[in-house]
Structure 1
Amino acid sequence: MYALNPPSPRCKANRTGFLAKSWHITSRGMFAGSCIGVICLVLCLEFLRRAGREYDSLIVRKARLRQASSEPLLADSTCDNACPAENNIINPIDTRKQATSAPANASAPCLTPYRPSLIEHTIRSLLHMVQFAVAYFIMLLAMYYNGYIIICIFIGAFLGAFIFAWEPIDLTKG
């Protein structure tokens, strides 16, 4: 949609309006700014994905701490239904663990499933909604079929993964 030479300001038919009627690229500087903006938008998407993962792990850590602090109270009660590991019950879908699983240790903590609170779930849902909206805008930008914008989306995805997806890898999985 945008040639190497910017369109003349007098020729409105050749102007590109991304996502809004007011977003018209009339110069190379505006096009370069748009490309940088697209890269930053994709970086924001990768940041939101990382923020969602980090918030979920925060919820899990808090739930484990709560359950660990209430463990002395649960020591008198039985965890037969809540803790399948203590009964040596293995998930039938995961057949890899069946061959390598050892009998559960009787002193292992009984971790019951945890449902996030209303506030925690609301924050998770808001993060998902913003992530979904940003991803949708990126998809709309890609639907302009402008090669430069698509390349900027790819560059933003690479930089975003490089910056925000550098996490430890669990060697016990896989």
Structure 2
Amino acid sequence: MEGMSMPLSMGSSVSSTRHSTLSTLIPTPTASTGGTDNMDNNMEGMGDMETQVGGCKISMLWNWDTVDTCFLSESWQVKSPGGFAGLCIGIVLLVILLEFLRRASKIYDRYLIRQHARATKVLAATSVNNSTDTANGALIVKEGTTALPHTTPFRPKLWQQGIRALLHTLHFALAYWIMLLAMYYNGYIIICIIIGAFIGFFLLQWERLSPRSDGETGFDSGTEATGCHG
């Protein structure tokens, strides 16, 4: 009997060892549920990081957020309704400034064309006055009975082209900045951009229109020496 008790005790120890090994390999329902809860919590944390970055509300979907919203950087954070109202006014003014830069480029081009037209008139008058074919060339040109040649196309000087390039660069940079603000999909910001575009065009693009043979219209083209392309 004593000899039989030893194998039985060894068998029971082996079975208990197998049971403990299987219990460690196979998770219990309680452990599985806890793992699922932890995974859900991690997913929720990742979702919070998508909308809360450094205390800023950032969304890539259409939203109407006001307070705690950030634009372009964490330092540009709106912390009060009044600050958001000031931001909206500033964006309206930015879009108006964009239209002003566009108008300034057109005005400067027209200034260059008028300057070239005056130089062409002076050159034509000088050539007529010095001509031996007309005795009273100066009087004829003054009375307008002699048709002056049309203004020919010209290439701006280096410094003139530099000013044109500067105006274009400022216009391009400001337009790109406004586009970045619109990419936050904030409804108030987009409405302010639209309002600024309306006010800016209404005030700064209110021009005198006149028909042309090429189907274009121009500003004060009836009073200028040449038709200026805007």
1:110 & 1:133 partners in 2: Cα distance?
Answer: 37
Q: 1:171 to 1:13 in 2, by over 3 A?
A: closer
More helix per residue: 2
Counterpart position of 2:156? 116
Counterpart position of 2:70? 17
Q: CA deviation at 1:13?
A: 4.2
1:121 & 1:72 partners in 2: Cα distance?
Answer: 28
Counterpart position of 1:47? 100
**TM, length-normalised to structure 1:** 0.72
Counterpart position of 1:138? 178
Counterpart position of 2:81? 28
* CA-to-aligned-CA distance 1:48-107 (integer Å, 9 cap, x gap): 000000000000000000111111455599xxxxxxxxxxxxxxxxxxxxxxxxxxxx83
Asked if residue 62 in structure 1 is aligned to residue 115 in structure 2, the reply is yes
2:206 & 2:186 partners in 1: Cα distance?
Answer: 30
Q: CA deviation at 1:109?
A: 1.1
Q: CA deviation at 1:21?
A: 2.2
Q: 1:62 to 1:18 in 2, by over 3 A?
A: same
SS in 2 for 1:70: helix
2:126 & 2:150 partners in 1: Cα distance?
Answer: 12
The size of the alignment, in residue pairs, is 136
**TM, length-normalised to structure 2:** 0.55
Counterpart position of 2:90? 37
Structure 1 residue runs of 4+, over 2 Å off? 72-77, 171-174
SS in 1 for 2:115: helix
RMSD of aligned Cα (Å)? 2.0
Computing the radius of gyration from Cα coordinates, the structure with the larger value is 2
- In structure 2, give the amino acid aligned to 1:134: L
Q: Which has the higher contact order (CA 8 A, sep 6+)?
A: 1
Q: CA deviation at 1:140?
A: 0.4
* CA-to-aligned-CA distance 1:99-139 (integer Å, 9 cap, x gap): xxxxxxx8341432211111111000000000000000010
* CA-to-aligned-CA distance 1:121-171 (integer Å, 9 cap, x gap): 100000000000000001001101001000000000000001100011122
Q: CA deviation at 1:172?
A: 3.0
* CA-to-aligned-CA distance 1:25-56 (integer Å, 9 cap, x gap): 11100110010010000000000000000000
1:168 & 1:63 partners in 2: Cα distance?
Answer: 22
- In structure 2, give the amino acid aligned to 1:57: R
Q: For the Cα contact (< 8 Å) 2:89–2:192, is it kept in 1?
A: yes
Q: Percent identity?
A: 49
